[in-house]
Structure 1
Amino acid sequence: MDAIFDLPVTSAPEQVVIARFRLSGEEFGERAERAVIFRAERAMAVAVGEAGVGEVEGNEFGGGEAMVYAYGPDAGVLFKVVEPILRGLPFRPAHVVLRHGAAETQFHVDL
């Protein structure tokens, strides 16, 4: 029996960057606001892909907010790549959650 095959497969927990932006209205924001978020999400995906630090996984709209999610092995490095794009968005208030592993290990950054 080869002992290497008996070891449990473990991988580092995936980390996440969640960007949250306040939109106008109580629901999904205006069409133009959603278009800005979609463009930013595409720009983030390109930047993250070129840097090889993870991937942008999508967005969520509702309750007058928009959220964009990105995942990778290091939330801090991932945030450094997408930070210029996020700071360029016109929506305020805005903040980012960097989650390192467990949900209780997270940091908030105001944009």
Structure 2
Amino acid sequence: MLGYLRPEAGGHVPLTPFGRPVADVLPEPEARAVLDALGLSYLADPWFLELPGREDPVTVRIVEVTPERMRVANADHGYEEADIGHLFVLRVPEPGRLRPGPGGVGGRG
């Protein structure tokens, strides 16, 4: 299991290591099964990162996640303010600036 279970009334919410819910409240065994089914797949998926002062989000790839921070790399050829591979450092839990990108399985969009 890669992620966390957050206790809630009626069960648990499965979360990614960076705090994004991937399902609603479920009984504990089912919440664990959701995380087991996702495995590492969502770490390889593209994600959208919202940046201050920019209308469109930037496509990024997750590079590293620790309990304190995560690093994501710019993968957006249309974002001219930073080179491909430029690293953005985000807090964990990530406050909602990151959402699943095209075709991503990173949970609820």
TM-score after normalising by structure 1 = 0.30
Query: Comparing both chains, which one has the higher relative contact order based on Cα–Cα distances under 8 Å and sequence gaps of 6 or more?
Result: 1
Considering fraction of residues, name the structure with more helix. 1
